[in-house]
Amino acid sequence: MELSISRHGAVTVVRPAEARLDAMAAVMFKDRMKSTIEGAGARVVLDLSAVGFLDSSGLGAVVAVQRFLRAGQALELAGLTSAVERVFRLTRMDRMFTIHGGLDDALRAEA
């Protein structure tokens, strides 16, 4: 899985290039996120605007990424499509993350 990574001050933005975050992509996603978080600042924003499908393995991978965070780091989500947002809401995982409507909203938000 390819990840696009950009930095905006203390915010590291990660965008998966794949349209699906499923069992086929989950392990690679976690591995790539682990190395990304090691060099990231205080806030990591996962921009899921290009992800149209997320299954339980993909959800588990996103949740597992939180284990890689160092003290003082936060993982936030942005740009959830309606299908992805529905998975987070139905599983109540939307309560575990700060979720922004879009990337611009995430970048304007304070830590």
Domain that holds residue 49: 3-108
Query: Which residues does residue 5 pair with via DSSP β-bridges, in sequence order?
Result: 14
Distance (Å, whole) CA 27 – CA 14: 16
* Contacting residues for 20 by C-beta, under 8 A, at least 6 apart: 51, 52, 53, 54, 58
Q: CATH number of the domain at 72, please.
A: 3.30.750.24
Question: What is the number of structural domains in the chain?
Answer: 1
Mean pLDDT of all residues belonging to the chain: 95
Strands 11-16 and 43-47: parallel
Token output for 108: 């304007």
The pTM for the full model equals: 0.94
The confidence score (pLDDT) of residue 110 equals: 75
Tell me: the pLDDT tens digits for 49-100? 999 999 999 999 999 999 999 999 999 999 999 999 999 999 999 999 999 9
Cα 51 to Cα 35: distance, rounded to the nearest angstrom: 21
Nearest to 96 by CA among 76, 72, 68: 76
